[in-house]
Chains A and B, each alone.
Chain A
Amino acid sequence: EAGVAQSPRYKIIEKRQSVAFWCNPISGHATLYWYQQILGQGPKLLIQFQNNGVVDDSQLPKDRFSAERLKGVDSTLKIQPAKLEDSAVYLCASSWTGNTIYFGEGSWLTVV
């Protein structure tokens, strides 16, 4: 079974530029999550989708971050404009029923 796919794996951008990350969850998983993990910290939930509807986006900085999950499958997370403090790993995860969440390898963002 293929895991959660993310791209790009690494991205370096200048502050005020924009960046987009893509995620393809495990086939059949209705729930998709985006987490932000800053170095030395645990992952922090940014947004949770159930199919193509948003379940929770309370910790998403909506002035600069946006996410969509068209057709209830893959998802895109965008940051515009980026700030230095956005440097982090962006982890996509998915789950079906039950509580086991499967994470991708992450997209590493460095803002300079």
Chain B
Amino acid sequence: SQKIEQNSEALNIQEGKTATLTCNYTNYSPAYLQWYRQDPGRGPVFLLLIRENEKEKRKERLKVTFDTTLKQSLFHITASQPADSATYLCALDGGGNKLTFGTGTQLKVEL
């Protein structure tokens, strides 16, 4: 069956460092992979989308890589700030905008 794995343990890093979050999947051939941010008590907010034929995508301090051979995506936040503290969800789209979400990784950026 399809499985999406994100690190369930919270990631604590110091302000200014680069945060790297991992999304691994099995038994899936997604056309797209998306990353969302979710703050407590709020709905997810779209951050970045990367297509299966793209290796890397950037947006300001955010960078996403997508390796369809390893079945893995890495999500990087450079020069992290306390305001980046949130849960980050990866979602796979096999087509038709039908997203399957991972469980998310909580990021805490400390001063």
Binding site for B on A (CB under 8 A): 4, 31, 33, 40-45, 48, 55-56, 91, 93, 95, 99-106
Chain B hits for A106, CB < 8 A: 41-43
- Interface status of B28 (Cβ within 8 A of chain A): no
**Is B78 part of the contact surface with A, judged by Cβ < 8 Å?**
no
- The answer to whether B44 has its CB under 8 Å from any CB of chain A is yes
With contacts A99-B49, A101-B97 taken as known, whether A41 is within 8 angstroms of B43 at the C-beta atoms is no
Contact A44 B101 (CB under 8 A): yes
* Whole-angstrom distance between the Cβ of A60 and the nearest chain B Cβ: 13
Closest chain A residue to B89, Cβ basis: A42
B61 / chain A contacts, CB cutoff of 8 Å = none
Decide if B44 touches A43 in the complex (CB within 8 Å): yes
What is the total number of residues of chain B having a CB less than 8 Å from a CB of chain A? 22
Given contacts A42-B102, A95-B97, 13 further A-B contacts (CB under 8 A): A40-B103, A43-B101, A45-B99, A48-B98, A55-B96, A91-B43, A91-B44, A93-B43, A99-B97, A101-B99, A103-B45, A104-B43, A105-B41
Q: Chain A residues with Cβ under 8 A from B96's Cβ?
A: 48, 55-56
Chain B's closest residue to A95 (CB) is B97
Give Cα distance in the complex from A56 to B93, angstroms: 14
Q: How far is the CA of A31 from the CA of B4 in the complex (A)?
A: 24
Within the complex, the shortest CB–CB distance from B70 to chain A, in Å, comes to 21
